[in-house]
Chains A and B, each alone.
Chain A
Amino acid sequence: MSHLPEVKANYGTLKNFIDGEWVESKGESKDIVNPAKNEVIGQVPMSPKSEIDDAVAAAKEAYQDWRETAPVTRVRYMFKLKELMEKRFEDFARVLVQEMGKTIDESRGEVRRAIENVETASGITTMQMGYSLEDGAAAGIDEEAIRCPLGVFACLSPYNFPAMIPYWFWPYAVATGNTYVVKPSSQVPMTQQIMFEAIEEAGFPAGVINLVNGSHELADHLMMHPDVKGISFVGSTPVAHHVYKLSAEYKKRVQAQGGAKNTIVVMPDCNLKKTVPNMISSFFGCAGQRCLAGANLAIVGGDDFYHEMLDQFVAMAKNLKLGYGLDESTSMGPLVSKKAQQKVLNYIEVGIKEGAKMLVDGRNVTVPGYEDGAFVGPTIFEEVNPDHTICKEEIFGPVVSVMRFKDLDEAIEFMNACPFGNAGSIYTSSGPDARKFRYEVTSGNIGINIGIVAAMAYFPFAGMNDSFFGDLHGQGYDAVNFFTDRKVVITRWL
């Protein structure tokens, strides 16, 4: 089976989108590499700080007019954008595969989620409403709260979801009357580039939404910029912490989503036939590069259940087809880069050295036609204990650490000792156990018989402990609250 056509073989040097125009950057460029082929497919500029200044200045200039644009008019741009995104859906998904490596199914699913955020933000005329209380202050004195936009916001997005993550933020920011600057990951900047073509076509006024490519130095510059009101970030925990601290120091609102080490608990009363395929997608989907991916597999129960469950899991993992994501039968693509591949391989070596027992070895996999790709196959260790590095640290690859627990209490105790708190799932047919899990586990996203707990656009993408710094999350009402302030008005007619 040949693969789907690529939108282009090479995308040349990307541009920035500032003040409604595509602008060539004066910065030096670095290569963008297709990780399945290890082939250069374009160049991304490392824009100088002055270009971020230009983007912020354009956004600041556009703010007042945009704020004065009625919400009902603002959402019409969103409707138009949604229509254009549907039209270019395939292009977005295929470019995403090319630069990031995930499968076409995963890419289409991701683009869908970006669109869902535009759809949700299109409801801003309702979502941004304030509230009022007649005689709220005293008899004859009314009180109301109005949600007001604040100014210029910016997001710094990671490499694992290049299409979706900026859309957790900017549609809500812009729909509520703010203006925006997106800085995508320099590893995967192309998806945003072509998504911005749709934004341009949707006709947002110049400066309302801007795109600047560049390195982490630009990110710091944005965080310190006096005209930026708030920062949204998704990435690793150390960087999220840095973003949180630096942005706060510069008096900004901040929402910083960090890393994860998610545990999936399997109870002996689960529906095994339906559990295993679902777990497979959690552990190995996006080659393990999701912040919601399963990493530790905690099996509760006796020997018979343990072996039956693990045998099925191992068999299905071994059956996954590695390949180029544009081949529609591929179940798992490469990691995002050779560097990421090496990092995962290093963790596998550490797992072996520390005494974990390898059941499935994903090293040295060969993918016909893509021998130079950044592939690591599904890797499963058992006899992992909580002190093992592979159990504690975020690997961000298709590596599973299997552990045994005598009961649910013990499994929850293990989970809650983890410094992260992004996601946790349980597979069970017991209502009380499911409720206990939901109640006691300190993770922001809880799955009951579902391994990828990815909040839909109208719910917050949650996260607790070291997986999130801030208080208001991306998406839905949390995003609306993040991008607006409540102004209280008390009125007395004399």
Chain B
Amino acid sequence: MAIDFSKFPEMKTFSSVIRYSLCMEEAVEEFYRSAAECVPSAAEDLNALADVHKKRYRLLEETRQQKLNEMILEPVCGLDREAYLPDVEITDNSGVLDKAIAVEESCETFYLALTETAKELSREASKVYKQMAKENGKLKNKVQGLK
């Protein structure tokens, strides 16, 4: 599934950053579902990875609802939406696992950047992003193990 990230909001507010993250997680989940169809031998593992990203979607929704503080809704600066776009389009079945590794790396880079940006905005949200980035590293290793 190709995602048109240009339709996403500019990342200027807490909500628009979360919206971007939600779209990213949704796209990555869908990517793993498609990947599972492309690589039947690893289908179970790839679907499990899709489930992880689905769970992260819910975590982000909770973060949006529970970790924002209206006292410190400062403008968000320095997050370029173009810089973190994961390539989730599957064009070649044989390269799916390499692409999955690249997708996890993109997400990891994004959440690490977000961890820094969000520190002043919501430290609790920042911790969530840090945890997600760390998880992306682990997921990348899992995919590597499937190769």
Interface residues of A (CB under 8 A from B): 1, 86, 89-90, 103-106, 108-110, 112-113, 274, 277-278, 280-281, 285, 316, 319-321, 327-331, 450, 452-454
Contact = CB atoms under 8 A, between A and B. Distances in A.
B65 interface: yes
Contacts of B16: 1, 328-329
A105 B71 contact: no
Contacts of A90: 65
Contacts of A278: 72, 74, 120
Contacts of B70: 105-106, 108-110, 112-113, 285, 452, 454
A108 B71 contact: no
Contacts of B74: 277-278, 280-281
Contact of A109 (B9, B10, B69, B75): B69
Interface string B3-41: 000011111111110110000000000000000000000
B68 interface: yes
Given A1-B7, A113-B70, A452-B70, 4 more contacts: A108-B15, A277-B120, A328-B15, A330-B13
Given A1-B7, A277-B120, A329-B9, A106 B73 contact: yes
B146 interface: no
Nearest to B120: A274
20 contacts: A1-B8, A1-B10, A103-B13, A105-B14, A105-B68, A105-B70, A106-B70, A108-B15, A108-B70, A109-B70, A109-B73, A277-B74, A281-B75, A285-B73, A316-B75, A321-B10, A328-B13, A328-B18, A329-B16, A452-B72
Which of B69, B72, B77 has the most chain A CB atoms closer than 10 A to its own CB?
A: B72
Contacts of A86: 65
Contact of B71 (A280, A329, A450): A450
A62 to B, nearest CB: 32
A86 B60 CA distance: 15
B66 interface: yes
Contacts of A330: 13
A105 B13 contact: yes
Nearest to A319: B75
Contacts of B69: 109, 112
A319 B12 CA distance: 10
A105 B75 contact: no
B123 interface: no
Contacts of A316: 75
Q: Which 10 pairs, one residue from A and one from B, show the smallest C-beta to C-beta distance?
A: A109-B70, A329-B9, A277-B74, A328-B15, A329-B16, A1-B9, A328-B16, A452-B71, A105-B15, A281-B74
A182 to B, nearest CB: 21
Interface string B52-79: 0000000000001110111111110100
B75 A280 contact: yes
Nearest to A286: B70
B68 A112 contact: yes
Interface residues of B, number: 25
A281 B15 CA distance: 15
A480 B15 CA distance: 34
Nearest to A89: B65
Given A328-B19, A329-B16, A331-B12, A112 B71 contact: no
B41 to A, nearest CB: 40
Nearest to A290: B70
Contacts of B12: 321, 329, 331
Contact of B75 (A104, A277, A453): A277
Contacts of A103: 13, 15
A331 B13 CA distance: 7
A276 to B, nearest CB: 9
B137 to A, nearest CB: 28
Contacts of A89: 65
Contacts of A285: 70, 73
A454 B71 contact: yes
Contacts of B77: 277
Contacts of B73: 105-106, 109, 281, 285
Interface string B72-98: 111101000000000000000000000
A274 B72 CA distance: 11
Interface string B90-124: 00000000000000000000000000000010000
A328 B64 CA distance: 12
Contacts of A112: 65-66, 68-70
Nearest to A455: B71
A86 B77 CA distance: 30
Contacts of A277: 74-75, 77, 120
Contacts of A452: 70-72
Nearest to B10: A329
A437 B54 CA distance: 49
Nearest to B77: A277
A450 B8 contact: no
A482 B125 CA distance: 35
A328 B10 CA distance: 9
A454 B69 CA distance: 10
B47 to A, nearest CB: 29
A108 B65 CA distance: 7
Nearest to B18: A328
A109 B13 contact: no
A104 B65 CA distance: 11
Contacts of B18: 328
Contacts of B8: 1
A232 to B, nearest CB: 21
A106 B74 CA distance: 11
A320 B76 CA distance: 10
Which of A103, A110, A329, A452 has the most chain B CB atoms closer than 10 A to its own CB?
A: A329
B67 to A, nearest CB: 9
